[in-house]
Structure 1
Amino acid sequence: MPRTGRLTTAAALLAAISALATACTGPAAESAADDPKADVTLAFWHGWSAPGEVRAIEDGIARFEKAHPNIKVQVTGNMTDDKINQALRAGGAKAPDVVSSFTTDSVGTFCNSRALADLNPFLQKSGIDKTKVFPRTLLEYTQFKGNQCTLPLLNDAYGLVYNKTAFAAAGITEPPRTWSRFVEVAQKLTKADPSGDSYEQVGLMPTFHGYETTPMRLAAQWSPTYFDAEGRSNLSRDPAFAKMLTAQKDLVAALGGYEKLERFRSTFGDEWSAEHPFHTGKVAMQIDGEWRAPMAKEAGVAFEIGTAPLPVPDDQAADYGKGYLSGTVVGIASGSRKQNAAWELVRYLTTDTEAVVAFANAIHNVPSTLAALESPDLEVTPELRTFLDIARHPKSSTTPARADGGTYQLTFQDFAYAVEKGAVADIPAGLAKADRQIDTDIAKAE
């Protein structure tokens, strides 16, 4: 079961940024002088904790150690970004040499504070052209202001997972491609319970607390630009944001209204359990990642599952197939005295096609290199193929890295919460206020 990155509170992020900015860093990557062929032990910290995930990591490390007999790797799992930040600040013998994070929003912080080493010199020294190895969008969220302080380690693509049996019963023959059709389908699949006060099934849980239904993932379908050429927040000047918020608010109203939907949402099971509302039939369409279909099958659902890209605005119908991308990142601690050896591990995990494919197959994620996406060894189910196509789509997008980590996204998200509740009378004015707050927060972080 993959773990998607979660936005933490703005206060926590800003505190982490401030602390990391004062961290003592080790030698610059360009001056790393350790001998990668010498006997050495590396400390690798990652966030995976489920047995299958941990086993997949261990299998990959075993293959690496077999190919690099002089390098031993001590692996520590279930490490949060908070624990990683603390260790990077403290440094010393107990600090990790290589770290992996689920939270792409942390990349701007890691790079801006120089807590992680710039990997560009290592890539150049190894003769690796990153633009020919990794998809463009993945490179966007793994660097900040030219500092490639992380590299992609698998990829998450977001699309639509739907109940094909429920579709057939409602006479729906294909997933919706445009937003207007999406609304129609969601309404048709929504069934009230006998009391009329709740639901037996909703076509979609459209509120922004509905697991993976976040403002950022929906906004990607409108192809937004978060920042202008000068780096200023662009929420109020790009019509995409107001259009998305208005469309989502109208969808909430069409499915019964915010309060009624939220009462129904309170009956949902845990996102990562067999009691997920898609698994139990309470939700017919789910905005989610590539892992949801195999998880539903493992939960033993009694219906047929389909996957598709998320619908696009009606005036962007030609761009159908795009979506939001994120993923896991990996980097080398600036304080590590074993950076050349650490690079051997990072290079293997992120650029070795066999390693990337094996890891993707094991934990049902999208591969993070162009070669792995096309590998004949990739185990491609019909459900996964949808997400591979989303990952390849030239107009798929992500949220850009910034020095304030994910704080700018929290500001946007909090505003979106207010909009869907009906608490915002003037969306453009509210977006302009959010712009000012985002610019202030970024200025402080930098």
Structure 2
Amino acid sequence: MPMSRPRFRLSAALVGAGLLISACANPGMGSDRDDPTAPVTLTFWHGWSTPGEVKALNDSVARFEKRHRNITVKLVPNVTDETMNQALRAGGSDAPDVVSSFTTNNVGQYCSSGMWADLDPFLRKTGVDKKRVFPKTLLDYTSYRGRQCALPLLADSYGLYYNKDAFKKAGITRPPRTMSELKRDAVKLTERTEDGGYRRVGFMPNFRLYQNSPDRMFAQWGPRYFDAHGKARLAEDPASEQFFATARALVDAQGGYGPLEKFRTTFGDEMSSQNAFLTQKLAMHLDGEWRGLMLKDAKAPFHWGTAPMPVPDDRPETYGRGYLTGTVLGIAHSSRHQNAAWELVRYLTTDTDQVVRFANAIHNVPSTKAALNSPELDADPAFRTFLTIARNRYSVALPPSTNGGQYVTALQDFSYAVEAGKVPDLGKGLRGLDAQIDADNLQSEN
């Protein structure tokens, strides 16, 4: 099963409620003077919740405890960012020592607030060269303005799932590699009913579908959200208008926004047996590496394959890229056992055998260079597509921000309006979006 993925809307709601950490927070002081060889019990809060995920992490911690007989780890599963942040603000003996989050774009808050400890001193004194251990993109989303307050603990990469049987029937010999090929194939694969509805859509571009948050397809253009001074620059980037034009062309070629959105509302829950790709209402679909395991477990009644998402026609050299995200792991600043906590963080994030075993167990992408190239990784070709995406030098992740995912929520709301035809002047709309993002960032910093 996949790791739980909180929607960005949650982050914005928490900001509005004053529950997420602000830059002016005053976290309780912990200690990095503890003896990591002394007997101690660490509390580790994480968000995994399904039985398979929880077992895999419990097994990982059991292996750690065998190596560190003096350290006992108390695991607390299914903890949300909201609960964790409230506990870290309150401090006290009930607060966790080790913390994790599925929301990489909240790292800016964790680092700037000081609630998560700076890990660079721990990396240096234990001889861990982070640039040699971790891929650059993963390091980028676990740090903020030079502060490495988190490390990656497995990753997710996004690619294209496609129905091989539908492709064969339509006479398509390989998955599309460019956006124009995606549009062409989507039209060929779309099947209508006698009453004008849909039996199947080639590729549903609508942004409210499952994992179709606009930032994930936008990654194929390699956008820069902010300039060197932290100012939003989406209106300045030609890729922004190109992205929305491509999305609009995909919609128009398959019948228009209204009919597609009506068909989307007939889809079942993303994580259920009524997932639209599994029920063959979609011939192609953007999703993460975990979907393959779910398709196998569900015994999908068709042959399917995976490939990188197509890229813009004028950037063919970037084919193979994709959107990256993942779990981040850190040490609570209020922990009185930071050296012992670091031993756990270091083991879970840098030990090659551990990272590979955990990745295989929950079907996620490993998060170190050595683990990505390990022969012990799952050999399934469908899964290895996502390893290739993770290694691609053009793959990108969302940049961290002081207000977490609020800028992504602003982009989502804007994208919903664009696809519904409510933004007549795209350039003007993008300038307004930049102004909104800048105002939100300024408010969170004051």
Q: Common fold, TM-score beyond 0.5?
A: yes
Q: Provide the secondary structure at the position in 2 that maps to 1:236.
A: helix
Does the 8 Å CA contact 1:179/1:314 hold for their aligned counterparts? yes
Q: Would the aligned equivalents of 2:150 and 2:329 in 1 still touch at CA under 8 Å?
A: yes
* Contact 2:20 2:85 (8 Å CA) reproduced: no
1:68 to 1:353, Cα distance in 2 relative to 1, 3 A: same
Question: 1:437, 1:8 → 2: CA distance?
Answer: 16
Q: Residue 282 of structure 2 aligns with which residue? A: 283
2:37 matches 1:34: no
1:174 Cα deviation after fit: 0.2
Give the root-mean-square deviation of aligned CA atoms.
1.2
With structure 1 as the length reference, what TM-score do the two structures score? 0.97
Q: Is the 8 A contact 1:17 1:113 kept in 2?
A: no
Q: How does 1:39-438 map to 2 (within 5 A)?
A: 39-196=39-196, 198-438=197-437
Query: 2:15 aligns to what?
Result: 13
Offset at residue 194 of structure 1 (A): 2.2
For residues 202 and 293 of structure 1, what CA distance do their matches in structure 2 show?
20
The Cα offsets for residues 359-385 of structure 1, whole Å up to 9 and x where unpaired, read as: 000000000000000111111211011
Q: Deviations over 1:374-412 (max 9, x none)?
A: 111111211011111100001101110010101111111
1:203 and 1:294 mapped to 2: Cα distance? 22
User: Within 2, Cα distance between the matches of 1:443 and 1:20?
Assistant: 11
CA contact (8 A) 1:332 1:343 kept: yes
TM-score, with normalisation over the residues of structure 2?
A: 0.97
Q: Deviations over 1:156-203 (max 9, x none)?
A: 00110111111111111000000001001111111112211x211111
Kept after mapping to 1: 8 A contact 2:161/2:307: yes
| Paired residues of 2:87 and 2:95 also in contact (CA < 8 A) | yes
Structure 2 letter corresponding to 1:8: R
Equivalent-residue separation in structure 1 for 2:21 and 2:435 (angstroms): 20
Question: C-alpha displacement at 1:19, in angstroms?
Answer: 5.2
The gaps in structure 1 that reach 5 residues or longer are none
Alignment length (residue pairs)? 442
**Alpha-carbon distance between aligned partners in 2 of 1:154 and 1:24, rounded to the nearest angstrom:** 27
Q: CA shift at 1:60, angstroms? A: 0.2
- Pick closer, same or farther for the CA change 1:20–1:233 going to 2, 3 Å: closer
Kept in 2: contact 1:23–1:88 (CA 8 A): no
Q: Which amino acid aligns with 2:25?
A: T
Larger CA deviation: 337-346 vs 255-264: 255-264
- 2 CA distance for matches of 1:147 and 1:25? 18
Cα distance in 2, alignment partners of residues 7 and 261 from structure 1 = 23
Instruction: Determine the C-alpha separation between the residues in 2 that align with 1:263 and 1:298.
Output: 29
The residue identity in structure 1 corresponding to 2:137 is: T
8 Å CA contact retained: 1:221, 1:310: yes
- In 1, the alpha carbon distance for the partners of 2:366 and 2:354 equals 10
- Secondary structure of 2:19's aligned partner: helix
Residue 349 of structure 1 contacts residue 355 of structure 1 at CA under 8 Å; is this kept in 2? Answer: yes
Q: Is the 8 A contact 1:23 1:90 kept in 2?
A: no
The 1:213–1:154 alpha-carbon spacing in structure 2 relative to 1, beyond 3 Å, is: same
Deviation at 1:11, TM superposition (A): 4.0
Separation in 1, partners of 2:83, 2:404: 16
Superimposed CA distance per residue, residues 192-248 of structure 1 (whole angstroms, 9 cap, x where no aligned partner): 12211x211111121000111121111111111111122210100011111101110
Where does residue 4 of structure 1 map in the other structure? 5
CA contact (8 A) 2:49 2:77 kept: yes
CA distance in 2, matches of 1:294, 1:176: 23
Q: What are the Cα deviations for residues 304-355 of structure 1, in whole angstroms up to 9, with x where unaligned?
A: 1110000001000111101110001011000000100000000000000011
2:21/2:109 contact within 8 Å kept: no
CA distance in 2, matches of 1:182, 1:6: 26
SS of the aligned residue for 1:314 comes to coil
Which is further off, 225-234 or 147-156?
A: 225-234
- In structure 2, runs of 5+ residues without a counterpart are none
Partner SS, residue 124 of structure 2? helix
Helix, strand or coil at the partner of 1:358: helix
Question: After TM superposition, which residue ranges in structure 1, 4 or more long, deviate above 3 angstroms?
Answer: 16-21
What is the CA-CA distance between 1:24 and the residue it aligns to? 2.4
Percent identical among aligned pairs is 56
- SS of 1:22 mapped into structure 2: coil
Distance in 2 between residues matched to 1:358 and 1:131, nearest whole Å: 22
Show the counterpart of 1:22.
25
Shift of 1:18: 5.2
* Cα displacement (A) at 1:257: 1.3
